[in-house]
Amino acid sequence: MNSGSFYVTLGQKLRARRRSKHLTLSDLAEKLNKSAATISKYEKGEIFISIDTLVDICRILNIEVSSLLPDTCMTEDPNDVTRYQKYFSECLYLYWFNGEKNKLQKAVLINQKMSFKTTMYYDVADTANYYEANYVYEGKVSYTDSCIDFILSCTEPPFDTLTLRLSSLNRNNSYKVGLLSTISYFYQNIAMKVIVSETPLPEDEQLVSSLRLTTEELKNIKRTNFFYAQ
């Protein structure tokens, strides 16, 4: 791994976690007894972060060091890793349509394949710059031959749990439709139709149309009293 790119990525992750804690550069600098300029350079990957400083930052931000670093060992059953590795994706792009706000919303999932750990950068303005997410979720992913399940918890209040289920990714399809459930800002349980892709999708009317509940889907919901994604 190129050390330069490693520290750039590490800095971006630290920035995302700091922002999710609503801490300014000055806030973190004061806690570390360093200058805001130094913290800024850490986050830009312009200078290397020593191990002891990284540990101090993680303590302040209340995060595990391992969540910032790439997989270094296999922590799951090797048989499961072998069996389900065809479904592994390092990065997944999520899209859903918020009808109340009349707005397309997005998230990015970063998966550590060997440990089955996952991080979701939720509600991003630009999928290419997902570290600027409004919320960060951490959790686990589990695989079966029929579906992939993600269970994640927000790293900051309201500490809600989010679940995502989709059928096992088929390499022949450009995307999958899944079901995302969480709580809304009114603290009500909600379920959303989402489209999940291994590559960013054009954010056009066709995508929005695919995310809207169709007349047929609404009929099926009324007929079965189930909310499900095909």
Q: What is the pLDDT of residues 28-52, one digit of tens each?
A: 999 999 999 999 999 999 999 999 9
State residue 200's pLDDT score.
Answer: 95
CA 210, CA 96: separation in Å to the nearest integer?
9
- Let me know: does 105 contact 96? Beta carbons within 8 Å: yes
pLDDT score of 5: 87
Q: What pLDDT score was predicted for residue 74?
A: 57
What confidence score (pLDDT) does residue 127 get? 95
Domain layout of the chain by residue ranges: 3-68, 78-224
pLDDT tens digit string along 183-208?
876 678 888 999 999 999 999 999 99
Highest mean pLDDT among 1-5, 95-99, 141-145, 175-179: 95-99
Q: Which fold has domain 3-68?
A: 434 Repressor (Amino-terminal Domain) (1.10.260)
Q: Is the pLDDT of residue 227 over 60?
A: yes
Percent of the chain with pLDDT over 90: 54
The more confidently predicted of residues 70 and 6 is: 6
* Sequence-distant (≥ 6) Cβ neighbours of residue 80 within 8 angstroms: 143
Residue 196 confidence (pLDDT) = 94
What is the spatial distance between Cα 38 and Cα 154, in angstroms, rounded to a whole number?
Answer: 28
**CATH code that applies to domain 78-224:** 2.40.160
If you compute the radius of gyration of the chain from its CA atoms, what whole number of angstroms results?
A: 19
Are 106 and 127 spatial neighbours (Cβ–Cβ below 8 Å)?
A: yes
Indicate the DSSP class of residue 16. Answer: H
What pTM was estimated for this model as a whole?
0.84
pLDDT, one tens digit per residue, over 146-191 is 889 999 999 887 788 999 998 876 656 678 899 999 887 667 888 8
